[in-house]
Chain A
């Protein structure tokens, strides 16, 4: 999975966010580093929902946190409206922050237990109060109404709400500053099945209502398919496959994408169930495999995969890019059925 190269970048005027060769290393003691994100490249156009999917340890959350500068960027660019967020520091960075907001995985942990939910939602407005003008109570009421939390409960503390309600409050907090980009990091995976759909629909509604561009991170292929226009599949810090949602699910070209689709309890019809039988040991991120990082588990791996890192290349002439020496061609995919 190597996934270097920039073939997947689009040359369009409405590109809002462009992540280029993003690298994030974490120190792991004894001078070793965890290669959490390695040369990840993708872009997001205005109004789009980009899904990032992969298993734990693939670096999808780290990409999100790097874009929003919650983790330090080792190398690479994060171009937002022409400015490189990776180079911004201090007050310059702080001034951009309201435009890129985030929703977290654990709705309970993401709310301060000692603060009233109204204050939690108003925090952004309070921080920027000087610049935006005195923040209004009506704005908070409107937000609470929009996300479906009754305004009369504003004086309560987070522990008095269920997980689903807390996630709604987190969404309201993120929307208070009228962001352009909303990063959702596994926003429904901590919620009960019957609540997940409520939150997914809410995110969809909010996207439309507030004209958001969304980066949606999840390990759940069905959820990502439901919300995304375009999808990035990641493995061990690298991009394996990028494409429009339809393309990616109808003709997955990377063996890893296919393995994922074959592993879910009700496998996708486009792949053969046996393709899910990849080894179950994830290589260490402190010493990632040479060449294509997926070669240790890949059923199609050859010598070249062990030595040479594949670059992303277009599949046919569709909006579909894959970083693989031996991608599964569409015809083969159909034959496997």
Chain B
């Protein structure tokens, strides 16, 4: 969206390079994130879209230094010229939660059920900004007002369980905003709430971001949310970014077959009634000992033998449209791959392809 904003600062606020996260488990090593790189510029929103197991939430938690101790992380994360992983290792105070904050899917993960919400916001202010008790409480009321909480003066003395899910999430957002962060990471912030509330919360985040010049990483499984609310979108699959571009390009001129298939599989409000959906066959891959091939190849109607010969690199310039595919949709190579698969009746990975199933879009 908003091509007029492309004159952003040349240095990204957050830069992630070749991030890998592995978890040793009883069953073997889970390769949760496999070489994720992206840049986020001041004032922009990046949506990271993916299904469960795609590594989107692990990526966010890595940025916030919230991974369990067992996780093995490699790669570079730079925030405003500072090495975030080094800051985490040194246990620097007043960075996480101040410069960078996070809002989770379930507001109760960030709220203490036995403390009044006002006190919880005030605590953040007192700890990070050294406010006095009364100052902090006053500011808490203001913050609740900012996030659109009705009757903020009364709400500060309520407990989380007295609030609806939407209002709780507003409290969490108020806490996140308390220290004027420059980067807000929202991990599925509206997944647990109803659509009418979701709209309010997304509008609120949008407005706050604009008014305060904040940057935002919006993690979501909902393509619609990503479409309406992000400048750039990164699509993740099996721990990798498979395609990233500005939102418009990604949704209307995508190159990765997974992006295409995902968009094609969801029912849309303006589709005709009883419109036959185009599901993605199969299911997401195992993250333990993944084979050395494109992770989407077994489900991809474009798959050729070279897709099975190694993991395709994310190609293209950082910041522009990039995709990790050897036979991208909407290109000649993609068309050729599709027609050869149709002629053969199956892809190189053995997935049956019928004449009608998807393709030339």
Contacts and interface: CB of A to CB of B under 8 A. Distances in A.
Chains A and B are bound partners: yes
Interface of A: 55-56, 162, 164-165, 192-198, 200-201, 204, 219-223, 225-229, 245-246, 249, 259-269, 276-282
Given A192-B52, A280-B196, A281-B150, 19 more contacts: A193-B266, A194-B261, A194-B279, A197-B265, A197-B267, A197-B278, A198-B280, A219-B195, A222-B268, A222-B269, A223-B267, A226-B275, A229-B273, A246-B273, A249-B269, A265-B222, A266-B269, A267-B269, A280-B167
A223 B222 CA distance: 13
Interface in B270-307: 270-271, 273-281, 283-284
Contacts of B221: 192-193
A279 B164 CA distance: 12
A264 B270 contact: no
B267 A193 contact: no
Identify whether the interface residues of A are mostly helix, strand, loop, or mixed.
helix
Contacts of B273: 225-226, 228-229, 245-246, 249
Interface in B230-288: 261-262, 265-271, 273-281, 283-284
A246 B262 CA distance: 25
B196 A192 contact: no
B262 to A, nearest CB: 6
15 contacts: A162-B283, A196-B279, A204-B276, A222-B266, A222-B269, A259-B196, A260-B196, A265-B202, A265-B222, A265-B228, A265-B229, A280-B164, A280-B167, A280-B197, A281-B166
Name the 4 nearest CB pairs between A and B, nearest first: A265-B224, A197-B279, A55-B194, A197-B277
A201 B280 CA distance: 11
B223 interface: yes
B94 interface: no
Given A193-B262, A194-B279, A281-B167, A263 B199 contact: yes
B269 A225 contact: yes
Most A-side CB within 10 Å, residue of B268, B271, B273, B276: B273
Contacts of B222: 193, 265
A262 B202 CA distance: 13
A182 B164 CA distance: 33
Identify the interface centre among B197, B202, B221, B223: most chain A CB within 10 Å of its CB.
B197
Interface in B189-227: 194-200, 202, 221-225, 227
B51 interface: yes
Contacts of A269: 270
Contact of B199 (A195, A198, A249, A276): A276
B196 A263 contact: yes
A278 B196 contact: yes
Q: Which of A165, A263, A277 has the most CB of B within 10 A?
A: A263
Contacts of A197: 265-267, 277-280
Interface in B162-178: 164, 166-167
Contacts of A222: 266-269, 271
Given A197-B266, A222-B269, A276 B196 contact: yes
A276 B199 CA distance: 8
Contacts of B267: 197, 200, 220, 222-223, 225-226
